[in-house]
Structure 1
Amino acid sequence: MDGGGRFPGPLSPAGHPRAQGPAARLLARLPGFLRRSDSLRRGRPGPSLAERLPRGLGAIGIGAAFAALALAGFVASGRYDGFVSENGRPLDILARLCGFGVERVTISGISRMYEREVLAAAGIDWRSSVPFLDVADMRERLLRVPLIASVSVRKVYPREIVVNQVEREPAALWQRNGEISVIAADGTVIDTMRDDRYASLPLVVGDDANGKLGEYLALVAAAGPLAERIRAGTYVSGRRWTLKLDGVDIRLPEIEPAAALARLVALERANRLLEKDIIAVDLRMPDRVVVRLTEEAAAARAEAQKKTKKGTAT
């Protein structure tokens, strides 16, 4: 103590928390790793980054980088696309190896299409797998087929796909500019004529003939006993019909064509008109029937008329 009764220095030992300020006391209470950070700020070195990282991490990173470069080169070279084309996507390959490949496709509602056409449109083949088959995409692909009106697709694990479809009903064939299309009852084109599966359907020919299919079918029905002989109907100039029979054209008027057709039925019943050497019957005038002969019949008729004239002159 000094002469005034005071101690010449602090009572607490040097370095004791009570002998330091508030910041020093707070630092003393911090966890060890935070105190190490403080020591770095004070200039004392801590463990290096290499010491903190797990062993072998650098080698793993270098290997991953080389693998990424190799994969990028494989894709850029086009070999990946070729691999997928031959074997399928990697995920599909893995799923097939695990027993989830598509081994059965059940299709219901099929009538006009072939199974192979449905599978091709849906994008299903031996490379597909059930887990990674996109059902929504498959349904959209099938709905792009004009003949399919509606369709549903579902997965049946482990190896089956079920397709339920409803097809539009083809009503007739429509020929325009040399091409033949299959049309529904409302005239909508739903398919192309690729084989003989539609050969028995009625045939209409000409621009806008598909939209007048109802008129044509009504005329066929009005033809009575001649209906089975009608092979096609040509819609002429967007106004009237010419019916194609067995080698004979029946030219109908624009107004009341069914009534004109009834006249033809009566003539055929009474005179067997269509069994004569004619190639066309014109019914466009209501008070008469104009018949066009074949070339041979016309030549024979002309020769007969010449002989008749000579005989009369003699």
Structure 2
Amino acid sequence: MDGGGRLAEPLTAGSPGGAEARAGFLRGLRLDALGSVLPAAFRRRGPIARLERRLPRFAGSMLLCAFFGATAFAGLSAGGRLDAFFAQNGSPRDIVARAFGFGIEAITISGIGRLDEREVLSAAGIDPRASLPFLDVGIAREQLESLPLVGEASVRKLFPNQVTIGIVEREPFALWQVDGRVYVIAADGQIIDVFHDDPRYRVLPHVVGEGANTRLEDYFAIVDAAGPLRARIRAGSLVAERRWTLTLDSGIDLRLPERDPMAALERFVALERDHAILEKDIIAVDLRMPDRIVVRLTEEAAAARAEEMEDRVLRGRGVRT
């Protein structure tokens, strides 16, 4: 170039070596110009520069977030607040799942009548801290079916954020009285609820005594054997977990033997048909002996009976009254 920035050689195409010189010269100018504006990482050489070029975009931001997260984690752990944080917000995996939109936001419960929704959710282990991916439906179903009122349960996950729960409740079958308390029980003897003075439950069969709830099948077989007296039976008491005593609507007790109680009851039904024993002033009929029936009178009837017997004795001695 001359002093004015012009090329000293001619720019004609025919100049020997001119095109190559100009091309090299212009490439040098472009590289110098780019070098003055591009970041230093593009101009550096060596392993660090190559590593920087291979890192994904925003790697620095992610590393910075990870650093601050680790710092916060260490601070909570050192301050003893980490356990309280997880207790309030759930496990780390649940926290992450909720952050990505997999929290449980919609729950549908069907089939409940006596159960409360809160009881169902508590038994299934579902609360605001849970997440859908880490909800174990098998464990949730087992925990629901452990409730006395639940016969069957089903739990389904609908991604991204829904759960459906189906409940089949046990039906009240009888009342069981033990240790001074009365319970509503299912056909298998499981306690459903404590009995309250509810008209819906007053008509249920009533069994009394330790173990009576597990002997419902035996009790109802005996009731069926009562034939025409069946409608008059109000309760059955299991005595010493061996034998039954039936209480009738009149308050009379029928004490049945441990062995073959149905045969003894059938014998009494025939006797009642012929002699109307239940119309007498009695409070109990003992059927435990196979060859006889023992009847216990009321206090008034017993007193009258004693007076009558005394009068008979006196009359037999020739004393007139």
Q: TM-score, normalised by structure 2?
A: 0.61
- Indicate the residue corresponding to 2:121 in structure 1: 119
Aligned residue among 210, 220, 226 for 1:223:
226
Contact 2:109 2:167 in 1 (8 A): no
Give, in angstroms, the shift of residue 261 of structure 1.
1.5
Give, in angstroms, the shift of residue 275 of structure 1.
3.4
- Indicate the residue corresponding to 2:294 in structure 1: 290
CA distance in 2, matches of 1:62, 1:161: 36
- Indicate the residue corresponding to 2:137 in structure 1: 135
- Indicate the residue corresponding to 2:41 in structure 1: none
Give, in angstroms, the shift of residue 272 of structure 1.
3.4
Q: Is it true that 1:257 corresponds to 2:252 in the alignment?
A: no
**Aligned pairs (5 A) from 1:60-99:** 63-64=68-69, 66-72=71-77, 76=81, 79-80=84-85, 83-84=88-89, 90=95, 94=99
CA distance in 2, matches of 1:293, 1:132: 69
Contact 1:283 1:290 in 2 (8 A): yes
Post-superposition, which runs of at least 4 consecutive aligned residues in structure 1 deviate over 6 A? 54-62
CA distance in 2, matches of 1:67, 1:139: 37
Contact 1:278 1:294 in 2 (8 A): yes
CA distance in 1, matches of 2:115, 2:69: 50
Which deviations, in whole Å up to 9, do the C-alpha atoms of 1:87-136 show, x marking residues without a partner?
Answer: xx7558757xx69653442323x466454432332234566665664433
CA distance in 2, matches of 1:145, 1:262: 40
CA distance in 1, matches of 2:60, 2:152: 60
* Number of residue equivalences: 256
Unpaired runs of 5+ residues, structure 1, are 1-31, 35-53
CA distance in 2, matches of 1:57, 1:106: 41
In structure 2, the CA distance between the partners of 1:215 and 1:160, relative to structure 1 (3 Å rule), is same
In structure 2, the CA distance between the partners of 1:301 and 1:125, relative to structure 1 (3 Å rule), is farther
Does the residue aligned with 1:296 lie in a helix, a strand or coil? helix
Q: Which residue identity is paired with 2:157?
A: K
What is the Cα-based RMSD across aligned positions, in Å? Answer: 4.1
* Identical columns (%): 48
- Indicate the residue corresponding to 1:107 in structure 2: 110
Contact 1:154 1:162 in 2 (8 A): yes
Which deviations, in whole Å up to 9, do the C-alpha atoms of 1:250-275 show, x marking residues without a partner?
Answer: 01223432232123223333443223
CA distance in 1, matches of 2:238, 2:124: 38
Q: TM-score, normalised by structure 1?
A: 0.62
Give, in angstroms, the shift of residue 288 of structure 1.
2.8
Unpaired runs of 5+ residues, structure 2, are 1-44, 48-58
Contact 2:244 2:256 in 1 (8 A): yes
Contact 1:100 1:157 in 2 (8 A): no
